Amino acid sequence: MLLVASVINPATGKVVTSISAGSAKDVDIAVDAAKKAYKTSWGLKCPGSVRGRLLNKLADLIEKNIDEFAALESLDVGKVYERSKAQDIGSSIEVLRYYAGWADKVQGKTIETNELKLAYTRHEPYGVVGQIIPWNFPMGMLSWKIGPALATGNTVVLKPSEITPLTALRLADLINEAGFPPGVVNIVNGYGHTVGQAIAEHPLIEKVAFTGSTLTGRKVLKASAETNLKVVTLELGGKSPTIIFDDADLEQAVKWAAHGIFFNMGQACTAASRIFIQEGIYDAFLAKFTEIAKFLGSATGDPFLTGTQHGPQVSQTQFDRVMSYISSGKEEGATVHVGGERHGDEGYFIQPTIFTNVKPEMKIVQEEIFGPVAAVIKFKTEEEVIEAANSTTYGLGCNVFSENGSRALRVAHALEAGSAWVNCAQVADKSVPFGGYKQSGIGRELGEYAIDTYVSRSLVSFASLTQDYADADESGSNCRYTQVKGVHVNLGMKL
């Protein structure tokens, strides 16, 4: 039986095309091809400079076809076209170029032990790595994953989301055109419970990188535990706070707070859905924030039309999920200050929504909604807001607004989150590590830190004749006793 996955345009709810869905057997074929390529024409067989050149070539080809990629992304995900082009596709190109630059700069260390011994490390690729990417930023997350994996010499078996596979499939053409040896990148479309599961369990895949829900992340980790103990990195959910102090630049803070939650229709793992406002500016904030939400509501519609600022949710399932959170907020007694309804009668549009009068235990304050739904909460003191912001099982991002530099940094440091934005929100950068504390993930993407997650360190120790044993001087691969937080400080960027 040939399984087929329908690709639906979320702005209309109509089928765009159907793509065959792969099976576990297809994953086997892909892994065999990847293994063969790793042994014969990639990995340590291919100089880093050549790998870098190919990544640059791929980036150039995407740039040449940027209008097509942006259109596919908007059609598939419902993103506003101009943003698909400038942000999603534009930043993917930059990420690939960034990692192209790393390809010939991956180095080990020599380690001093004693005069009679030499020890050094080699940073070797794992071999075949599995990558499972989400539907909210298909090209973005693809570039975050294949960039460091290919730069370090791994070969890849990648599963796009079955609901948004178009750009990944088009990219497969360009990978051939760029001249990558066959088998270096294998893209297998399909469902999580078949293709995703097969990747997570595959005995010949040495590492898997997953971005998606915490629920599925647990399954990936469990599959590794029950099979070959492959290395797992996870980038999972979040319930990020935005915290705005009385002494913030209110005009800017409101705009960033709106960007922090409504960007990509709230479908971002760092979406800052809990907005804490210090009491002195609460009313002023709410008035301005309401204006922005209403404006976005009035600029909701066809992602391809000039002037559209807010598109649909990605699918019927996501639409239903977000609407059910809105209902639960109403039932639990929160006030819908703005929005709270479907927009229009076709497609999966939801009005930008603001809840007030929320309580910490409400579902809309505790759980990830993944939609354009903000809960606004009043606070008095710094201590109180740190405690409240931290009381979640997630720890992906946080945004802090204050013109008092020491306070802003102190709070950003105190919060349990892998990324902190000071006087800005939701602006990832290719060279700054990204990832989660607590149940938001394991490992880091982007920057040099991502390079680290695609190499395993082997220690070579030469013992002299007078010493029988070589001491392991560097801890083994992937041992980490620190959590890495990327802090982004706004020194003058305006929205």
Ligand X SMILES: *[C@@H]1O[C@H](CO)[C@@H](O)[C@H](O)[C@H]1NC(C)=O
Report the run of H or E that residue 92 belongs to, with start and end.
helix 90-102
- In which residue are the tokens 């066809």 written? 302
Number of residue whose CB is nearest ligand X: 390
Secondary-structure percent of the chain, ordered helix, strand, coil, rounded to 5: 40, 20, 40
Q: Residue 410 Cβ, how far from ligand X at the closest point, in Å?
A: 7
**Closest CB to ligand X among 41 and 366?**
366
**Closest CB to ligand X among 242 and 290?**
242
Q: Any contact of residue 406 with ligand X (CB under 6 A)?
A: yes
**CB neighbour list of residue 260: distance below 8 Å, 6 or more residues apart:** 240, 242, 270, 271, 272, 275, 399, 425, 426
Q: Any contact of residue 321 with ligand X (CB under 6 A)?
A: no
Q: Any contact of residue 381 with ligand X (CB under 6 A)?
A: no
Among the listed ranges 96-104, 266-274, 314-322, 401-409, the one in contact with ligand X (CB under 6 A) is 401-409
404, 431, 464, 475: which one binds ligand X (CB under 6 A): 404
Q: How many other CB atoms are there within 10 angstroms of residue 77's CB atom?
A: 30
State the burial class of residue 348 (Cβ atoms within 10 Å of its Cβ: 0-12, 13-18, 19+): buried
Among the listed ranges 122-130, 160-168, 179-187, 382-390, the one in contact with ligand X (CB under 6 A) is 382-390
Q: What letter would DSSP give residue 41?
A: T
Report the run of H or E that residue 245 belongs to, with start and end.
none
| Residue 218 main-chain phi, psi, to 5 deg | -60, -40
| Residue 162 main-chain phi, psi, to 5 deg | -65, -20
Q: Any contact of residue 483 with ligand X (CB under 6 A)?
A: no
Q: Residue 384 Cβ, how far from ligand X at the closest point, in Å?
A: 10
Q: 417: helix, coil or strand?
A: coil
Contact mark string toward ligand X, 408..427, x via CB under 6 A: ------x-x-----------
Q: Any contact of residue 366 with ligand X (CB under 6 A)?
A: no
- In which residue are the tokens 């993917």 written? 92
Q: Any contact of residue 391 with ligand X (CB under 6 A)?
A: yes
Cα angle at 429 between 371 and 259, to 5 degrees? 30
- In which residue are the tokens 């603001």 written? 354
Q: Residue 52 Cβ, how far from ligand X at the closest point, in Å?
A: 41
**Closest CB to ligand X among 57 and 407?**
407
Q: Any contact of residue 387 with ligand X (CB under 6 A)?
A: yes
**Closest CB to ligand X among 17 and 390?**
390
Among the listed ranges 64-72, 144-152, 404-412, 461-469, the one in contact with ligand X (CB under 6 A) is 404-412
Task: Kindly determine how many residues on this chain lie close enough to bind ligand X according to the rule CB under 6 A.
Answer: 9
Q: Residue 449 Cβ, how far from ligand X at the closest point, in Å?
A: 23
**Closest CB to ligand X among 406 and 466?**
406
386, 425, 450, 455: which one binds ligand X (CB under 6 A): 386
Q: Which of 235, 368, 416, 445 is catalytic?
A: 235
* Catalytic residue flag (residue 235): yes
**Closest CB to ligand X among 71 and 358?**
358
Tokens of 95: 């990420």
**Closest CB to ligand X among 333 and 360?**
360
Q: Residue 245 Cβ, how far from ligand X at the closest point, in Å?
A: 9
Q: Is the torsion defined by CA of 440, 446, 449, 451 positive or negative? A: positive
Cα 334 versus chain centre, distance: 30
Closest CA to 240 of 386, 387, 378, 395: 395
Q: Any contact of residue 341 with ligand X (CB under 6 A)?
A: no
Contact mark string toward ligand X, 31..60, x via CB under 6 A: ------------------------------
Q: Residue 198 Cβ, how far from ligand X at the closest point, in Å?
A: 37
Report 122-181 residues binding ligand X (CB under 6 A).
none
Q: What is the rounded distance in angstroms from the CA atom of residue 272 to the CA atom of residue 148?
A: 27
Q: Residue 367 Cβ, how far from ligand X at the closest point, in Å?
A: 15
Length of the chain: 495
Q: Any contact of residue 407 with ligand X (CB under 6 A)?
A: yes
**Closest CB to ligand X among 48 and 237?**
237
**CB neighbour list of residue 220: distance below 8 Å, 6 or more residues apart:** 132, 196, 200, 208, 210, 232, 234
Tokens of 239: 């319930």
Beta-strand runs (E) in 107-240: 110-111, 117-125, 128-132, 155-159, 185-187, 207-211, 231-235
Contact mark string toward ligand X, 230..259, x via CB under 6 A: ------------------------------
**Closest CB to ligand X among 324 and 391?**
391
Closest CA to 483 of 396, 386, 405: 396
12, 357, 390, 467: which one binds ligand X (CB under 6 A): 390
Among the listed ranges 200-208, 250-258, 400-408, 441-449, the one in contact with ligand X (CB under 6 A) is 400-408
Q: What is the rounded distance in angstroms from the CA atom of residue 72 to the CA atom of residue 39?
A: 34
Catalytic residue numbers, as ranges = 235
Give residues in contact with ligand X (CB under 6 A). Answer: 386-387, 390-391, 404, 406-407, 414, 416
